[in-house]
Amino acid sequence: MQRIDKTKDWIKKNKLKTGVVTVLAIGLIGGGATLGIAHHKADELRTEFIQPQKADARQSDHELQKQLNYNHKVSGLNSNGQSKEGQFLANKYQVNSKKGVTNQDYGQLMHNHNEALKAGVDKTAIGYVRVPSVGITLPIYRHTNAYTLSLGATEYFKNAAMGQGNYVLAGHNMDMANILFSNLPNVKKGAKIKLIRGHKSYSYKVTAKKSVDPTYKANADGTPVSSKNLLYQGSKQSKVTLFCCNAIGSKRIVVQGTLIK
């Protein structure tokens, strides 16, 4: 009984100390939970994005072409990533949607990524884009929407064609190295960009790089809003243009290369 009384007295005299200890304990527990969630996110991003991109980067152009041709054959697709007997994907995966070309947080990205995989959108890639200097090797998809953007690079215009005019690709910058287009802001002039199709490839040299406002765009048919717009599709010279948001979405990073003869 005497020992219990002494313990009560000590607690009364040291209320501040015990309060601090309690707060610290709660903080450590909460911090541990936060670290656990962060660790889970990092593992998921590494498995779904970083490792596949690094694996593709180790493949030769020929090996990537074989993979594309195999996927198309197994899925019954033509070289444009479309079903020979009509579209097999729901319409929401087969249209261009401006809603997809916005910054996304981790939760949104993973939701769209998992839904796209479940629907089989990943099997409809029509090519690959490589930027070796910054470690980008990504599949290219026919339409730009939230689902295709969660898998790789996407054709920004409906009637795009590699090696003709200005071939524009959009991608997500998650501000995390080696995930989708997150490395694109590090590209320098003079760097090489390569586009790979099932039976052909195109090499480009980066000649322009700009940081522009989010309102910087071209019309849906690729005609320019201004005569100097880097997204203008109808260029007489063969070009490739890659663009993404900056880390916070306040700007767009636009990188353009011209075809190497």
Domain containing residue 238: CATH number: 2.40.260.10
Give the tokens for residue 230.
């880097």
Look at residues 11, 29, 58 and tell me which one is the last residue of a structural domain: 58
Query: Are 67 and 136 in a shared domain?
Result: yes
Query: Are 47 and 103 in a shared domain?
Result: no
Burial level of 251, CB count in 10 A (0-12/13-18/19+)? middle
Question: Measured at the alpha carbon of residue 196, what is the angle toward residues 213 and 51, in degrees to the nearest 5?
Answer: 75
Intervals of the chain under pLDDT 70: 1-40, 79-87, 99-103, 217-228
Look at residues 20, 42, 58 and tell me which one is the last residue of a structural domain: 58
Query: Are 54 and 86 in a shared domain?
Result: no
Query: Are 232 and 178 in a shared domain?
Result: yes
Query: Are 53 and 136 in a shared domain?
Result: no
The whole-number pLDDT of residue 179 equals 93
In Å, how far are 52, 132, 229, 242 from 237, measured between CA atoms?
Answer: 33, 23, 14, 16
The whole-number pLDDT of residue 259 equals 96
Query: Are 77 and 199 in a shared domain?
Result: yes
Look at residues 40, 58, 76 and tell me which one is the last residue of a structural domain: 58
Query: Are 28 and 136 in a shared domain?
Result: no
The whole-number pLDDT of residue 225 equals 60
The whole-number pLDDT of residue 168 equals 92
What tens digit of pLDDT does each residue of 10-32 get? 444 444 444 433 333 333 444 44
Query: Are 245 and 255 in a shared domain?
Result: yes
Number of structural domains in the chain: 2
CB 234 within 8 Å of CB 222: yes
Query: Are 14 and 97 in a shared domain?
Result: no
Query: Are 193 and 160 in a shared domain?
Result: yes
- For helices 15-45 and 2-13, angle between their N-to-C axes, nearest 10 degrees: 70
Q: How far apart are CA 121 and CA 114, in angstroms?
A: 10
Query: Are 50 and 74 in a shared domain?
Result: no
Q: Whole domain around residue 6: which residue ranges?
A: 1-58
pTM over 0.85: no
The whole-number pLDDT of residue 157 equals 84
Q: How far apart are CA 237 and CA 244, in angstroms?
A: 23
Query: Are 37 and 128 in a shared domain?
Result: no
